[in-house]
Amino acid sequence: MLENIRIVLVNTTHPGNIGGVARAMKNMGLSDLCLIEPRRFPHADASARAAGADDVLESAVVVDSLEQALADCHLVVGTSARSRTIPWPLVNPRELAAIVSPLPAETRVAIVFGREDRGLTNEELQRCHQHVHIPVNDQFSSLNLAAAVQVITYELRMAKEMDVSTAKPRWGTEWDVDLAEGRELTLLFEHFERTLTEIEFLDPDKPRNLMPRLQRLLLRAVPDKLEVNILRGMLTAMQKRNQR
């Protein structure tokens, strides 16, 4: 399972932090690193901080957008250090490990870490099924990027080492169809937005957080490929009916 866990770093400013993350990943047996528009990479500081995890750096994939990073992922978790305008399912690292461990080995999981100074935006977090928060000292809550990755990947490794044969996913479902990938969910949300606009249920000038709340509802369900196809078929039928 650890081989299919992707660590995604968004707009990392300091290359040394990328190296520190690579080292933390290799310590725990992870190797899939994806970088979204890093400020400087490759860089000597990244190699120095990697301290032997050069293979993780060399195989890192650099992309231009979060959509590209998540396109083939089935479960997406965003790291969040603060409460948001729209509450989202929130877990701690140990609970996250309990969610991930029972999933089929081929399930691709992405854990997304934000910018060093301000984390992830609301829009980026709304692309995630779950949010993970590391409980820290309220009087000194600033956590280094590599340290945050180390905490979460440690819990994931511990869950792998322990007997989790009887554990069940938080949502309590055994799937008979593969989970929907990120690209399929993106197309579904776009289809919903178009359809709801066409039938005048969504006013683009006054969206009132309708789409983020709808995304939250659907992501909480962790839909599979067939369920996404059913929903898109329903939307297409609504569009045809509306055109007539």
Concatenated DSSP letters of 49-98: HHTT-HHHHHT-EEES-HHHHHTT-SEEEEE-SS--SS---EE-HHHHHH
Query: Is residue 177, in this structure, part of any structural domain at all?
Result: no
Q: How confident is the model at residue 105 (pLDDT cuts 50, 70, 90)?
A: confident
Q: Each residue of 129-181: pLDDT tens digit?
A: 999 999 999 899 889 999 999 999 999 999 988 855 444 455 555 668 899 99
User: Residue 232 is part of which domain span?
Assistant: 182-243
Say which residue, 111 or 170, is predicted with more confidence. 111
Is 95 within the bounds of a domain?
yes
What is the residue type of 229?
N
Do 72 and 126 have their domain in common?
A: yes
Could you read off the pLDDT of 159-168 as tens digits, one per residue?
988 855 444 4
What are the tens digits of pLDDT across the range 219-244? 999 999 999 999 999 999 999 999 99
In a domain, 229, yes or no: yes
Q: What is the CATH number of the domain that holds 221?
A: 1.10.8.590
- Is 169 inside any structural domain? no
- Within a domain: 173: no
Q: Indicate whether 56 and 119 sit together in one domain.
A: yes
On whether both 146 and 201 belong to a single domain, the answer is: no
Closest CA to 75 of 224, 237, 244, 195: 224
Judgement on whether residues 48 and 153 belong to the same structural domain of the protein: yes
Residue 48, domain member (yes or no): yes
One domain, residues 156 and 194:
no
Is the model more confident about 161 or about 96? 96
Q: Is residue 156 part of a domain?
A: yes
* Confidence bin at 197 (pLDDT 50/70/90): very high
Last residue within a domain, chosen from 161, 191, 217: 161
* Structural domain total, the chain: 2
Task: Quickly list DSSP for the chain.
Answer: -GGGEEEEEES---HHHHHHHHHHHHHHT--EEEEES-SS-S-HHHHHHHTT-HHHHHT-EEES-HHHHHTT-SEEEEE-SS--SS---EE-HHHHHHHHTTS-TT--EEEEE-BTTTB--HHHHTT-SEEE-----TTS----HHHHHHHHHHHHHHHHHS--TT---TT----SSPBPPHHHHHHHHHHHHHHHHHTTSS-TT--TTHHHHHHHHHHHH--BHHHHHHHHHHHHHHHHHHH-
CATH number at residue 29: 3.40.1280.10
Please tell me whether residues 151 and 197 are part of one structural domain: no
CA 58 from chain center: how many Å?
22
Q: Which two tokens stand for residue 182?
A: 């990120």
Residue 60 inside a domain? The answer is: yes
Residue 65 in this model has a pLDDT that exceeds 90: yes
